[in-house]
């Protein structure tokens, strides 16, 4: 690193809690982002894992010369959660961190979850470093199963119940941030319309995935991997990857697969991920021997499944910019996915098979089992079409969804904030709830 690089370097503090999402999509995002950012010699990364359950005292792990991870344990004595407790814990975290960060360092703080709010506020109060919040999903989606209509009538100014309090807290986090990164365009619109955030305070930067080497396998290699994993050479592998959860549309998938497998005996469904399989099992009657649940697998084994998959499916009821779909695109797997907000920003009708949602007057989102069944059978029967869709979606991945591209946009944003940071206005647009 040159002297100029040193004087212009930034320490990026990335905060992550022990929330469930850190084990899934957000965790993948942080891994991909940090790996790609390290290609810039003027970026130093400090990953701050707080309320960490796997350490009993503060632990500092130096990964490289420019990357360290600091693990801060949960309180030794279990304490009832409260605002006072959260604020005290946040103060302790900040004091510890800035004993480690050199004085006069240029610092950017990146937050990734609503749990980070007390720490974000303490950072701004004590140091005034620029704070970026990344929107990976919205709380209303989890609370209302994606039904945005349910937000109408809520009072976020004077929350009276847990739902209003949670959404009010989420809104406050984004209002207090100096800048917001949304991984989808539709969530930017949500923040503007529902939370009153100014449009120029939000940048859309899509998730990115490190480019995969040797992602094309020969017919012979694919047959060998299938044999090794217990599948027949001519079986057609339908791959679901992600958390096994109703919000991912697994109930629709199980019913559709059972019907499809009755008409095409070569079909096999692989559920690549963790979660409750009991609900899945209740949805099938006659194809138990055609469904594989892998549970957690090491990365190398996961990659083997991507190499043998003939079709990928993402039947989510609500989602954003899921890494499971990006991984399918990067591995040249043709994709069937639901035409919902977020997923419809990834690919076009010429690059995948979309499943159209049925939305009731109350906002309930469902999908046609028949349409999903027909889509599975259609792709299973047409290898040429599978190859064509896979090639098109791969080109889109290379153009729009690489980790290098994501890191380049984030790097540009960091330096823009260092140069032009403005104080957060007490009230944003005056619009929203």
Q: Comparing 44-58, 333-347, 399-413, which segment has the lowest mean pLDDT? A: 44-58
Q: Comparing 134-148, 190-204, 389-403, which segment has the lowest mean pLDDT? A: 134-148
Q: Which fold has domain 3-209+404-420?
A: Rossmann fold (3.40.50)
% of the chain residues with pLDDT over 90: 72
Model confidence at 2: pLDDT above 60:
no
Q: How far apart are CA 279 and CA 227, in angstroms?
A: 29
Averaged confidence pLDDT in the chain? 90
Residue 4, pLDDT score: 46
Length of the chain: 433
pLDDT tens digits along 264-283? 999 999 999 988 887 777 77
Residue 123, pLDDT score: 92
Q: How far apart are CA 175 and CA 197, in angstroms?
A: 7
Asked if 3-209+404-420 and 219-400 have one fold, the answer is yes
DSSP single-letter state for residue 275? B
pLDDT-derived band at 427, boundaries 50, 70, 90: very low
- Judge whether 56 and 75 are in contact, CB under 8 Å: no
Look at the block and give the residue holding tokens 């941030």. 177
Pairing of strands 365-367, 335-338: unpaired
**Residue spans per domain, the chain:** 3-209+404-420, 219-400
Model confidence at 431: pLDDT above 70:
no
Report phi then psi at 397, rounded to 5: -55, -50
Residue 105, pLDDT score: 83
242: left (phi over 0), alpha (psi -120 to 50) or beta: left
Q: How far apart are CA 13 and CA 106, in angstroms?
A: 11
Q: Which fold has domain 219-400?
A: Rossmann fold (3.40.50)
């Amino acid at each position: 690193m040159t002297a100029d690089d040193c004087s212009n370097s930034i320490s990026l503090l990335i905060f992550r809690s022990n929330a469930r999402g850190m084990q899934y999509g957000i965790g993948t995002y942080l891994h991909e982002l940090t790996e790609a950012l390290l290609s810039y010699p003027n970026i130093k990364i400090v990953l701050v894992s707080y309320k960490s359950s796997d350490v009993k005292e503060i632990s500092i792990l130096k990964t490289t010369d420019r990357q360290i991870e600091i693990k801060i344990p949960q309180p030794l004595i279990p304490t009832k959660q409260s605002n006072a407790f959260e604020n005290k814990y946040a103060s302790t975290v900040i004091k510890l961190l800035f004993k480690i960060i050199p004085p006069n360092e240029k610092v950017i703080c990146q937050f990734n979850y609503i749990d980070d709010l007390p720490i974000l506020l303490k950072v701004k109060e004590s140091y005034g470093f620029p704070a970026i919040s990344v929107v990976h999903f919205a709380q209303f989606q989890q609370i209302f199963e994606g039904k945005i209509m349910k937000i109408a009538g809520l009072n976020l100014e004077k929350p009276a119940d847990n739902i209003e309090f949670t959404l009010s807290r989420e809104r406050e986090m984004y209002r207090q941030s100096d800048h917001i990164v949304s991984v989808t365009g539709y969530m930017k619109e949500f923040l503007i319309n529902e939370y009153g955030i100014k449009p120029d305070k939000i940048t859309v930067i899509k998730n990115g995935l490190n480019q995969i080497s040797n992602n094309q396998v020969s017919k012979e290699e694919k047959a060998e991997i299938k044999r090794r994993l217990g599948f027949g050479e001519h079986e057609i592998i339908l791959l679901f990857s992600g958390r096994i959860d109703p919000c991912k549309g697994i109930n629709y998938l199980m019913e559709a697969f059972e019907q499809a497998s009755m008409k095409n005996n070569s079909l096999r469904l692989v559920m690549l991920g963790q979660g409750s399989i009991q609900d899945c099992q209740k949805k099938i009657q006659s194809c138990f021997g055609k469904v594989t649940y892998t549970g957690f697998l090491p990365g190398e084994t996961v990659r083997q499944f991507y190499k043998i998959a003939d079709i990928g499916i993402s039947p989510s009821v609500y989602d954003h910019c899921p890494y499971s779909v990006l991984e399918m695109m990067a591995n040249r797997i043709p994709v069937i996915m639901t035409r919902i907000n977020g997923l419809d920003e990834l690919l076009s009708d010429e690059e995948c098979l979309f499943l159209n949602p049925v939305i009731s007057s109350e906002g309930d989102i469902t999908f046609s089992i028949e349409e999903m069944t027909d889509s599975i059978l259609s792709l299973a029967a047409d290898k040429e079409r599978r190859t064509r869709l896979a090639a098109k979606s791969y080109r889109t991945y290379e153009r729009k969804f690489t980790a290098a591209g994501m890191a380049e946009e984030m790097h540009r944003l960091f330096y823009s904030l260092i140069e032009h940071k403005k104080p957060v206005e007490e009230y944003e647009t005056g619009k929203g709830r």
